[in-house]
Amino acid sequence: MANRYKCRNYKSAVQFYNSGTQAIEDTDLVASPIILALGTRVTDTGVAIDFNSFDIDIENSGLYRISAVLDVLGVTGGDVTFAIALNGQVLPETINTITAVAGISELISFETIRVINACCVNRDFNFSIVAFSDGTGEATVERLSGNALKLA
Protein backbone atom coordinates (compact mmCIF):
# COMPACT_ATOMS: atom_id res chain seq x y z
CA MET A 1 0.00 0.00 0.00
CA ALA A 2 1.37 3.39 -0.99
CA ASN A 3 1.99 6.05 1.64
CA ARG A 4 -0.77 8.57 0.91
CA TYR A 5 1.17 11.27 2.78
CA LYS A 6 4.11 11.15 0.31
CA CYS A 7 2.58 14.02 -1.60
CA ARG A 8 4.01 17.41 -2.50
CA ASN A 9 1.06 19.05 -0.70
CA TYR A 10 2.35 17.83 2.69
CA LYS A 11 5.23 19.25 4.74
CA SER A 12 8.30 16.98 4.38
CA ALA A 13 9.12 15.29 7.69
CA VAL A 14 10.49 11.96 8.89
CA GLN A 15 10.42 10.66 12.48
CA PHE A 16 12.28 7.42 13.38
CA TYR A 17 13.45 5.30 16.31
CA ASN A 18 15.53 2.20 16.97
CA SER A 19 15.27 0.34 20.28
CA GLY A 20 17.63 -2.44 19.22
CA THR A 21 21.09 -2.30 20.81
CA GLN A 22 23.99 -1.24 18.58
CA ALA A 23 27.58 -1.82 19.73
CA ILE A 24 30.43 0.62 19.28
CA GLU A 25 33.68 -1.28 19.77
CA ASP A 26 37.21 -0.04 20.41
CA THR A 27 38.10 -0.99 16.81
CA ASP A 28 35.51 1.44 15.33
CA LEU A 29 37.93 4.33 14.87
CA VAL A 30 37.47 7.81 13.40
CA ALA A 31 38.88 6.65 10.04
CA SER A 32 36.10 4.06 9.74
CA PRO A 33 33.16 5.05 11.93
CA ILE A 34 30.09 2.84 12.08
CA ILE A 35 26.80 4.09 10.71
CA LEU A 36 24.00 3.53 13.20
CA ALA A 37 20.77 1.91 12.00
CA LEU A 38 17.91 4.40 12.20
CA GLY A 39 15.34 1.68 12.69
CA THR A 40 11.63 2.15 12.29
CA ARG A 41 9.93 5.02 10.49
CA VAL A 42 7.10 6.58 12.53
CA THR A 43 6.19 9.52 10.31
CA ASP A 44 7.09 10.06 6.66
CA THR A 45 5.35 12.89 4.82
CA GLY A 46 6.07 15.07 1.81
CA VAL A 47 8.42 14.42 -1.10
CA ALA A 48 11.64 16.24 -0.12
CA ILE A 49 12.93 13.60 2.35
CA ASP A 50 13.33 9.85 1.87
CA PHE A 51 14.03 7.43 4.72
CA ASN A 52 15.98 4.19 4.59
CA SER A 53 17.56 1.97 7.23
CA PHE A 54 20.82 3.88 7.62
CA ASP A 55 20.29 7.40 6.32
CA ILE A 56 17.95 10.23 5.41
CA ASP A 57 18.08 11.18 1.74
CA ILE A 58 17.36 14.77 0.71
CA GLU A 59 15.59 15.07 -2.64
CA ASN A 60 14.88 18.81 -2.96
CA SER A 61 16.73 22.05 -2.25
CA GLY A 62 15.86 23.84 0.96
CA LEU A 63 16.54 24.42 4.65
CA TYR A 64 16.56 21.22 6.75
CA ARG A 65 16.75 20.42 10.45
CA ILE A 66 18.14 17.02 11.47
CA SER A 67 18.14 15.99 15.13
CA ALA A 68 18.67 12.85 17.21
CA VAL A 69 18.68 11.64 20.80
CA LEU A 70 20.64 8.54 21.89
CA ASP A 71 20.58 6.56 25.12
CA VAL A 72 24.14 5.22 25.42
CA LEU A 73 25.40 2.60 27.90
CA GLY A 74 29.13 2.50 28.63
CA VAL A 75 30.85 -0.88 28.29
CA THR A 76 34.57 -0.09 28.81
CA GLY A 77 36.34 3.13 29.75
CA GLY A 78 37.42 5.54 27.04
CA ASP A 79 35.95 8.12 24.71
CA VAL A 80 33.15 7.31 22.30
CA THR A 81 32.01 9.97 19.82
CA PHE A 82 28.66 10.39 18.08
CA ALA A 83 27.76 12.83 15.30
CA ILE A 84 25.58 13.52 12.31
CA ALA A 85 27.35 13.04 8.98
CA LEU A 86 26.42 14.58 5.63
CA ASN A 87 27.52 12.40 2.71
CA GLY A 88 29.88 10.57 5.08
CA GLN A 89 31.56 13.73 6.41
CA VAL A 90 31.11 14.39 10.13
CA LEU A 91 29.43 17.75 10.80
CA PRO A 92 31.58 19.45 13.48
CA GLU A 93 28.66 21.23 15.12
CA THR A 94 27.07 17.86 15.94
CA ILE A 95 30.06 16.09 17.53
CA ASN A 96 29.21 14.76 20.97
CA THR A 97 31.89 12.79 22.86
CA ILE A 98 31.26 10.87 26.06
CA THR A 99 33.71 9.16 28.36
CA ALA A 100 32.25 5.69 28.60
CA VAL A 101 32.06 4.17 32.08
CA ALA A 102 31.01 0.54 32.34
CA GLY A 103 27.35 0.23 33.36
CA ILE A 104 26.61 3.98 33.26
CA SER A 105 24.00 5.36 30.84
CA GLU A 106 24.19 8.78 29.23
CA LEU A 107 21.57 10.59 27.19
CA ILE A 108 23.05 12.62 24.35
CA SER A 109 21.47 14.78 21.70
CA PHE A 110 22.52 16.76 18.68
CA GLU A 111 20.97 18.84 15.95
CA THR A 112 21.94 20.73 12.84
CA ILE A 113 20.25 23.04 10.39
CA ARG A 114 21.64 22.98 6.86
CA VAL A 115 20.85 24.58 3.51
CA ILE A 116 20.90 21.90 0.81
CA ASN A 117 21.18 22.90 -2.83
CA ALA A 118 19.97 19.75 -4.57
CA CYS A 119 20.30 20.95 -8.14
CA CYS A 120 20.11 18.79 -11.24
CA VAL A 121 23.90 18.19 -11.24
CA ASN A 122 24.27 16.98 -7.63
CA ARG A 123 21.24 15.34 -6.03
CA ASP A 124 23.11 12.99 -3.70
CA PHE A 125 22.65 14.37 -0.19
CA ASN A 126 22.21 12.04 2.77
CA PHE A 127 22.42 12.43 6.52
CA SER A 128 23.45 9.56 8.80
CA ILE A 129 24.33 9.10 12.46
CA VAL A 130 27.86 7.82 13.01
CA ALA A 131 29.88 6.62 16.00
CA PHE A 132 33.54 5.90 16.66
CA SER A 133 35.90 5.12 19.54
CA ASP A 134 39.23 6.60 20.65
CA GLY A 135 40.61 3.05 20.56
CA THR A 136 39.79 2.21 24.17
CA GLY A 137 36.14 3.16 24.76
CA GLU A 138 33.23 0.84 24.03
CA ALA A 139 29.51 1.49 24.39
CA THR A 140 26.11 0.33 23.20
CA VAL A 141 23.34 2.53 21.91
CA GLU A 142 20.26 1.26 23.74
CA ARG A 143 17.78 3.54 21.99
CA LEU A 144 17.99 6.06 19.18
CA SER A 145 15.30 8.45 18.02
CA GLY A 146 15.36 11.40 15.69
CA ASN A 147 13.75 13.38 12.94
CA ALA A 148 14.34 15.31 9.77
CA LEU A 149 12.21 18.28 8.81
CA LYS A 150 12.26 20.55 5.76
CA LEU A 151 11.88 24.01 7.25
CA ALA A 152 11.71 26.00 4.01
Tell me the average confidence (pLDDT) per consecutive run of 10 residues in the chain, 152 residues long.
66 96 93 94 92 92 96 97 96 96 96 87 84 96 97 94
Alpha carbons 26 and 112: distance in angstroms, whole number = 27
Closest to 48 measured CA to CA, from 60, 57, 56? 60
pLDDT at 8: 73
Residue-by-residue DSSP string for 27-76: T--TTSPEEPP--EEEEEESSSEEE-SS-EEE-S-EEEEEEEEEEEEEEE
pLDDT at 120: 63
pTM (2 decimals)?
A: 0.91
**Kind of pairing between the strands at 22-24 and 138-150:** antiparallel
pLDDT at 1: 45
Alpha carbons 68 and 59: distance in angstroms, whole number = 20
pLDDT at 30: 87
